[in-house]
């Protein structure tokens, strides 16, 4: 690498991440032979100099590590080589997923055309049965939206094909805000509410059932006038020149999630349910014969009742209004395993831990008994950076695990997530420490029992834990039935006032 000052300015424009290059560096003087270049990926331009910024793609040099970011002007670009494509031979399941048809013609003309045609017919039948559209002449001045088919093979746990799925999706990205749609919100039940329901079920020894709404978004009623071209595979003899005027929402529409939620709200309220004031996706019905609780997460729902009659009557009501799939006793929800024993209810994500370790800790770096190394002091990175993309991916994975079933890593994840914009080697050490801890505690989870039957809350904060910005770190946890139902660990955004301590 040349450390001399360059007077020239970059004269070529490259798209970030798409170009392989050879970066020429200066090896130590004592090294007479050996590699003089390193494979890198172009990621942009330096902020304070006229150099390029590179992400090291492959390195055989001990002092230069993979995924570090370098700046230099000495580089040869290979614009026809795309290193981001995997060099490994894909497995048969990956090849199968990659070969899924991308267009209607590709699907019906493939070797699995009969299966795809059956899936297309099933989707069209559901749409027509639901009275999703009506055929009309296109009004003057209106431009219809187009649609496309999405094809997917649903797989079983053993890797075999479960079913062929075809979904008709309208190209809603062409909608005009204020004309074709107004609001796009889509509420879902909070994970805290789900854990609370599980804790109550464990305390009172209640059964938890699960149902799924088929083609949920097709149930929402539309207020706006939206026209769509007749989709491929749909045949209406003598009406080929007409367009589809949508009566109900369709997958791909901006307002489809909102319309579905409003429809579900109206159905539940009309059958005696009340909406929880703290969570708009939790519905409760309390009668002299018993009570039932329903939690809705898009199209998945949990049903908890005081007895079988309340659960059965709720299922019958839902089946009469929507096309439902009864999944029986709940065993998995949002990727969380549910295990029921005679005296406790366990929520765990051991399979998700395995997935994280398989992605980010393939070298099996050992185990650790705590998630944080107290001797590792983290601060803003001023040296070489590690891959920001990889760091963000692992933080996102850990965040989901923490928010669902692992409050024990909340502090570690909160602390490490502050450095996502420019992570360094020390920050990656912190990530590895958490991964080691997860390997040691793979089967940890939330164990809800019948005692104690009281909601308990604990909170604590340290005093100016960060001497550089004089801010503290605080956290809280609420427990019910012997396990956590809500928790948080975060850095305070207010500076402490010494007068507060005196008053306290």
Contact 291, 204 (CB under 8 A): no
Give the up-direction half-sphere exposure of residue 493: CA atoms within 13 A in the CB hemisphere. Answer: 1
20-42 per-position pLDDT tens digit:
555 555 544 444 455 667 777 77
113-122 per-position pLDDT tens digit:
899 999 999 8
Contact 247, 132 (CB under 8 A): yes
Tokens of 417: 């997530």
317-374 per-position pLDDT tens digit:
999 999 899 999 999 999 899 999 989 999 999 999 999 999 998 777 789 999 999 8
pLDDT (0 to 100) of residue 233: 85
pLDDT (0 to 100) of residue 11: 41
Tokens of 266: 């109206």
128-158 per-position pLDDT tens digit:
888 899 999 999 988 899 999 999 988 765 6
pTM: 0.71
Contact 228, 127 (CB under 8 A): no
Backbone angles phi, psi at 86, to 5 degrees: -65, 135
55-88 per-position pLDDT tens digit:
776 766 666 766 677 777 777 766 555 544 444 4
Give the pLDDT mean for 199-206. 96
Contact 394, 356 (CB under 8 A): yes
Give the pLDDT mean for 464-475. 71
- pLDDT of 477 above 60: yes
Tally of CB atoms within 10 A around 153: 19
Per cent of the chain over pLDDT 70 is: 81
Q: Which 3 state secondary structure label does DSSP give 415?
A: helix
Domains of the chain: 1-85 (2.30.30), 96-334 (no CATH), 348-491 (no CATH)
Contact 293, 303 (CB under 8 A): yes
Tokens of 7: 């007077």
> What rounded mean pLDDT belongs to the chain?
83
């Amino acid at each position: 690498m040349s450390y001399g000052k360059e007077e020239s300015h970059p004269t070529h424009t490259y798209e970030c991440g798409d170009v392989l290059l050879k970066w020429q560096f200066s090896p130590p003087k004592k090294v007479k032979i050996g590699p003089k270049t390193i494979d890198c990926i172009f990621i942009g331009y330096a902020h304070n100099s006229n150099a390029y910024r590179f992400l090291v793609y492959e390195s055989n040099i001990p002092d230069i590590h993979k995924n570090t970011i370098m700046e230099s002007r000495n580089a040869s670009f290979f614009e026809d080589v795309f290193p981001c494509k995997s060099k490994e031979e894909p497995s048969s399941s990956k090849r199968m997923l990659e070969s899924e048809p991308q267009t209607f013609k590709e699907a019906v003309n493939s070797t699995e055309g009969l299966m795809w045609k059956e899936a297309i017919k099933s989707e069209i039948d559901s749409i027509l049965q639901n009275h999703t559209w009506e055929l009309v002449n296109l009004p003057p001045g209106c431009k219809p939206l187009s649609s496309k088919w999405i094809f997917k093979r649903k797989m079983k746990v053993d890797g075999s094909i479960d079913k062929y799925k075809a979904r008709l999706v309208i190209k809603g990205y062409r909608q005009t805000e204020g004309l074709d749609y107004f609001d796009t919100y889509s509420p879902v039940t909070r994970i805290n509410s789900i854990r609370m329901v599980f804790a109550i079920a464990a305390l009172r020894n209640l059964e938890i059932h699960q149902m799924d709404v088929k083609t949920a978004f097709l149930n929402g009623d539309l207020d706006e006038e939206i026209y769509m071209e007749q989709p491929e595979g749909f045949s209406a003899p003598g009406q080929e020149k007409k367009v589809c005027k949508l009566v109900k929402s369709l997958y791909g529409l901006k307002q489809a999630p909102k319309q579905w939620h409003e429809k579900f709200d109206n159905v539940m309220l009309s059958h005696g349910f009340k909406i929880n004031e703290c969570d708009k996706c939790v519905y409760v019905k309390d009668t002299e014969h018993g009570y039932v609780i329903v939690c809705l997460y898009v199209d998945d729902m949990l049903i908890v009742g005081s007895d079988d009659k309340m659960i059965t009557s709720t299922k019958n009501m839902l089946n009469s209004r929507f096309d439902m799939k009864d999944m029986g006793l709940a065993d998995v929800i949002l990727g969380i395993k549910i295990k029921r024993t005679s005296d406790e209810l366990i929520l765990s994500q051991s399979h998700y831990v395995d997935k994280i370790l398989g992605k980010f800790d393939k070298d099996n770096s050992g185990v650790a008994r705590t998630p944080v190394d107290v001797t590792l002091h983290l601060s803003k990175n001023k040296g070489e950076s590690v891959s920001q993309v990889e760091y963000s991916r692992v933080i996102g994975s850990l965040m989901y695990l923490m928010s669902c079933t692992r409050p024990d890593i909340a502090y570690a994840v909160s602390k490490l997530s502050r450095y996502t914009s420019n992570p360094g080697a020390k920050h990656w050490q912190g990530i590895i420490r958490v991964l080691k801890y997860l390997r040691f505690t793979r089967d940890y989870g939330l164990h809800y029992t019948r005692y104690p039957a009281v909601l308990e809350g604990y909170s604590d904060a340290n005093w100016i834990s960060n001497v550089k910005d004089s801010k503290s770190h605080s956290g809280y946890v609420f427990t019910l039935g012997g396990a956590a139902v809500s928790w948080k660990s975060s850095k305070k955004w207010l500076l402490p006032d010494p007068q507060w301590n005196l008053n306290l």
